Amino acid sequence: TSSLTMNTTTMEYTLETCLEKPKHLIGLRLGNYSHVTKSELVDEYIEMEPGGHLRPQNCKPGQTVAIIIPYRNRSSHLHILLHNLIPFLTRQNVDVTFFVIEQAGNSTFNRGALFNVGFLEVEKFHRFDCYILHDVDIIPLNDHNLYRCSENPRHFAVAINKHNYKLHYESYFGGVVGLIREQYLQINGHSNLYIGWGTEDDDLLIRVRNKNLTMVRYDPLTARYDMIQHDRDVGNAENPMRLTLRKSAARRQDVEGLNTVTKHYQVLDMKLETLYTWITVSLNNSG
C-alpha cells in the first residue's frame, strides 16, 4: 500500500513520510541459512541500486542509513547476511547502503580500525544520518528490531544464540551497534590499537559513556540474533594486550581513534557493485 497525497494547488502527488513502525512487520522468525551465491542475490534483489543502495518505493524515508561491515575472507557469511538483511530492511522501510570494508593481505585483523576507515570513506559518498556497524555473521531475527538511529547510541545485538539469547554481560556492546554521525565523531570512533580479537567493543562503550552518552537497547525478544557458527579466523588471534588497553580507554579517547586512523591505512580498491560498495584497504597496525 503506497501513501500518495495530492497537492491540490500543483496537482502533483507527493509521497508520505514512512511510518516509524511499518504495518507489515512480521515479528520473530527463523533466519535463512541456506547457501546462496552472489549472482543469485543479484538476480533476486533487482531493487538494489548501484553501490548497494536499497530504499523504500512507497514512502519517503526519515533517515539515510549506512551499514558498515568489517570483512576478510567470509564470503559465505556475507551472502547469508545480505539474504536476510535485504528483505528485513525492506519491511522496515529503511533507506540503506551497504559498505563492505575489506582488510587486504594477511596483517592481523583490526575490526575497530576498519570501522573508522569505513566511516571516513563512506563520508566521501554521503553524510549518512545513521551508521550501523555490523559483524558479517550475525542475523537479526525479529523485524521489530528497527535499523534506525535515535538520539542515543544503540546496542542492537542484545540476545544472541551463542549466549542462549541472553545479554552476555551488562556492558556488552558487540555484534551490531548504531550511532548518528555526530555521535561517532564526538566519541572519536573506535580505538585503532586493538590488533586481533577482543575488547575493542568494550573500549567503544567506554568511549560512549565517557562522553556522557547513554547506550540504549531493545528488549531481548526484539533484539534477537543468530551468529552463524564459526571458528576463530586465521589472522585474528586473541589480542594479548586487550585487557591492558582497556584500562587506558578513557585516557586515549581524544588522542587516538577516528582522528588518527588516516596514518594507518591506504585504500587499494573501491567498487560500486549491485549489492554493496566494496572498499579494500591495507592497514598498517604500527603506532
Interaction site with Mn ion (CB under 5 A) = 137
Say which of 95, 102, 121, 137 is annotated catalytic. 137
How many angstroms separate the Cα of 217 from the Cα of each of 136, 173, 211, 228, 253? 20, 10, 18, 22, 23
Looking at the Cβ atoms of 73 and 152, the one nearer to ligand UD2 is 73
| SS3 (DSSP) at 6 | strand
Q: Helix or strand or coil: residue 112?
A: helix
Instruction: Please confirm, yes or no, whether 232 is among the known catalytic residues.
Output: yes
The four Cα atoms 129, 135, 271, 191 give a dihedral, to 10 degrees, of: 70
In single-letter form, the type of residue at position 39 comes to S
Active site residue 135: yes
From 135, 202, 203, 256, the catalytic residue: 135
* Residue of 20, 230, 238, 241 with catalytic role: 230
Residue 143 is among the residues annotated as catalytic for this protein: no
Concerning whether 197 is annotated as a catalytic residue, the answer is: yes
Q: Does 201 participate in catalysis according to the annotation?
A: yes
What's the min distance (Å) between Cβ of 171 and ligand UD2? 12
Residue 126 interacts, among ligand UD2, Mn ion, none and using kind-specific CB cut-offs from 5 to 8 Å, with: none
Please state, in angstroms and rounded to a whole number, the distance separating the CA atoms of residues 117 and 79: 22
**Joined grid coordinates for residue 18:** 514512512
Q: Which residues make up the interface to ligand UD2 (CB under 6 A)?
A: 69-74, 109, 111, 135-138, 157, 160, 174-175, 197-198, 200-201, 227, 232-233, 235-236
Which positions are catalytic? 135, 137, 197, 200-201, 227, 230, 232
